[in-house]
């Protein structure tokens, strides 16, 4: 699932949700990428994109989302304000563009109605 936010001069944000590949996890998805162009930051766009992808995921039968983000990054604070729960931190989870490793915080969020 791929959502795009547009402004008059082009795309200013996007978010992706990948459904779980595992047959025993049809209820789960992963937020794979949330990006907001620097010209649209601090406008609430990231929040609106995340809210929209959650609604879209629920419409597809997903009721548990996961994601990871760089520890200490602005996105970590955003996810906390959106009701995501930190499950833990993995040291040296990914590599920055300068080649240095960074830790990641793993988050999850129950969405929609999980009762069947």
pLDDT at site 115: 57
Per-residue pLDDT tens digits for 62-109: 999 999 999 999 999 999 999 999 999 999 999 999 999 999 999 999
- 3-state SS of the chain? CEEEEEECCEEEEEEEEEECCCCCCCCEEEEEEEEECHHHCCCCHHHHHHHHHHHHHHHCCCCEEEEEEECCCHHHHHHHHCCCEEEEEEEEEEECCCCCEEEEEEEEEECCCCCC
Q: So what's the pLDDT on residue 113?
A: 77
Does the domain made of 2-110 have the CATH classification 3.40.630.30? Answer: yes
pLDDT digits (tens, 9 = 90+) for 9-47: 999 999 999 999 999 999 999 999 999 999 999 999 999
């Amino acid at each position: 699932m791929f959502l795009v936010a547009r402004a008059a001069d082009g795309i200013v944000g996007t978010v992706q949700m990948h459904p779980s590949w595992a047959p025993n996890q049809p209820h789960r998805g992963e937020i794979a990428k949330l990006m907001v162009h620097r010209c649209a930051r601090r406008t609430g766009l990231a929040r609106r994109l995340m809210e929209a992808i959650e609604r879209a995921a629920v419409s597809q039968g997903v009721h548990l989302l996961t994601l990871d983000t760089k520890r200490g990054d602005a996105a970590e604070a955003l996810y906390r304000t959106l009701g995501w729960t930190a499950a833990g931190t993995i040291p040296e989870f990914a590599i920055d563009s300068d080649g240095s490793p960074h830790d990641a915080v793993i988050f999850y969020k129950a969405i929609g109605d999980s009762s069947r």
